[in-house]
Structure 1
Amino acid sequence: MSAPAQAHPKKWLIAYNSISASLWSIVFFNTVFVGAFLGQPSLFDLTGKITIAVQCLAVTEIYNSAAGVVKTPLFTTVAQVLSRLAVVIGVFLVLPNSPANYHWVYITVCLSWSITEIIRYSFYAISLRGEGVPQWLTWLRYSTFLVLYVTGISSEVAIFVLSLDEAATAVGKWYSWLFIAILAIYVPGSYILYTYMIKQRRKVLYGKSKKTQ
C-alpha cells in the first residue's frame, strides 16, 4: 500500500480517537460534577442521553476492526461493544424507569467506562501522531483495566440484574429472559476480554523492559 493510501485511514483514526477521548471526558465530568452536586435521580435524567449517544458511537470500533483499519481482534471488539450497547440501549434507552438507572451502579459504570476510554483513546491518538506516547500513559493504558474492567463489568451485571423485573413488566417476560441469557454470556466473554488484555499488558510493558535489559 502506498504512503498516500495509508495516510487517509491514519488521519481518520487520529480524528476518531481524539474526538472519542473528548466525548468520554464529557461523560466523566458530567458523572463527577452532576453526581456530586445533584446526585440521583437527577444524574441519570441529565446525563443518560449523552452517555447513550457517546457509547453508541463505539460501533465504529467494529467497522475499524472488520475492515482491517486496526489490528484489534474482531471477536474481542464485538464482545466489548455489544455488551455495552446492551446496557445503554437495552436498559438506559428501552427501560428509562429501571431502578438500575437511578442506582449508584450507574455512577460506577459511567466512571469505569469513561476513565478507561479517556486513557485508551488518548493513548492511540498520540501514538498515531507519532509524537511518542509518555511512559505514564502507556502504563495507565495497560494497567488501569486490572481494576476498571472489574468495576465496569460488575456494574454492567448489576444493571441487568436490577432491571429484570422492569424488563418483564415494561416489555415482557421474554425480555427479562434475554437479560438472563446476556448475563450467562458475560462469564466466558469477560474471561476472554480480561485475559486478552493481560497478554497485551505483558507484551507491551514487560516485553519492552526485557528489550532494554
Structure 2
Amino acid sequence: MTANSTSVESTSKQPGAMVKGYLFLYNAVQVAGWSLILFQLINFYLLQGPEFRAQVSLWDYTYLAVIVFQNAAIVEIVNAAFGLVKSNPVITAFQVLSRMMVVIGVVMATPSGKVSPGLPIALFAWAVTEILRYGYYALNILNVMPYIVVFLRYTTFIALYPIGVTGELLCFWWAQSYAKSNTIWSWQLPNKWNATFSYFTLLWIVMLFYIPLFPQMYLHMFAQRKKVLNGNNKFRTMKKTE
C-alpha cells in the first residue's frame, strides 16, 4: 500500500546535471516498465483469446516485468537516504517495502497468490498510477509540466488507490487461506533456532495494518491534491493577468 506522494517531486537542493540525468533516466525507465505491464494486462484480457489464457496464467505472463520494475523502486529509498530527493527515507521505505511485500511475500510466496483475483486488480491500479507518477517526476526534472499531467497525477488516485488496496487485500486473503492449511514459510518448535514464526499470523498482522493506515494515506493524498492543484490554479491565474 502506498500513497505515492514522495520520491522526486522536489529536491532539497538544486541537483547537478549528473543527478538530474540519473533521476530522469530512472523515472523514464520506470514509465517504460509500467507501460509494458499495462500493455501485458490489456493483451492478456482483451487481445488474446481464451485459448491463450488457458495455457498461461496472468502471473506467468507478467511476473518478470513486475518483479524487475516493482523491486527497482528500492532505488527510491537510496535516493531519499542520500538526499538526492526531498523525501523522508522512513516513509519512502515503508511505501516501497509494503508493495514489495505484496509481490515477494504474498504472490511469489504462495501458489494461491499467483491466481488470486486481486492480482489483475492490483496490477492495473499500480500500472496506471506508476505511469502517471514517474511521468510526472520525469517531466518535473525537465521543467516541463502540462496541467493535464498535474491534474491526472493528483486526481486518478481517488479511484485507483482504493482499487489498488482492494487488489492487495485480496492477494493477502488468498495467501492466508493457503497458509492456514499449510505450514509454508513457518517455523514450529522444536527447531535448532528455538524460535517460532507463523507466516499465517504475519499475513493477518499486515492486513490489519491497512485499517489505520489506508485512511491516513488516502486523506494525505487529498491534502496534497488540494495544495498542488490550488497552487497550480493560482499560477495559471497570475499568468493570465500579466
Q: Which amino acid aligns with 1:12?
A: Y
- 2:218 corresponds to 1:194: yes
1:118 aligned partner: 131
Deviation at 1:134?
Answer: 1.1
Q: Which amino acid aligns with 2:38?
A: F
2:154 aligned partner: 142
Deviation at 1:66?
Answer: 2.0
Distance 1:51 1:101 in 2: 12
CA RMSD of aligned residues (A): 2.2
Deviation at 1:10?
Answer: 1.2
Which of 72, 82, 92 is 2:97 aligned to? Answer: 82
2:185 aligned partner: 171
Deviation at 1:2?
Answer: 9.7
**Which TM-score applies when normalising by structure 2?**
0.79
Which entry has the higher C-alpha Rg, 1 or 2?
2
Deviation at 1:189?
Answer: 2.4
Deviation at 1:62?
Answer: 1.2
Is the Cα–Cα contact under 8 Å of residues 108 and 114 in structure 2 kept in the other structure? no
Q: Which amino acid aligns with 1:152?
A: G
2:191 aligned partner: none
Deviation at 1:33?
Answer: 0.5
- 2:40 corresponds to 1:30: yes
Q: Which runs of 5+ in 2 are unaligned?
A: 1-11, 187-196
SS of the residue corresponding to residue 94 of structure 2 reads: helix
Distance 1:82 1:24 in 2: 18
Q: Which amino acid aligns with 2:21?
A: K
Percent identity between the two aligned chains: 33
Map 1:202-213 to 2 at 5 A: 202-211=226-235, 212=237
**Which TM-score applies when normalising by structure 1?**
0.89
Is the Cα–Cα contact under 8 Å of residues 31 and 130 in structure 2 kept in the other structure? yes
Q: Which runs of 5+ in 1 are unaligned?
A: none
Q: Which amino acid aligns with 1:25?
A: S
Is the Cα–Cα contact under 8 Å of residues 132 and 153 in structure 2 kept in the other structure? yes
Moved over 6 A (4+): none
SS of the residue corresponding to residue 14 of structure 1 reads: helix
Structure 1 pair 39–196 and aligned structure 2 pair: CA distance change class (3 A): farther
Deviation at 1:67?
Answer: 1.9
Distance 2:57 2:13 in 1: 52
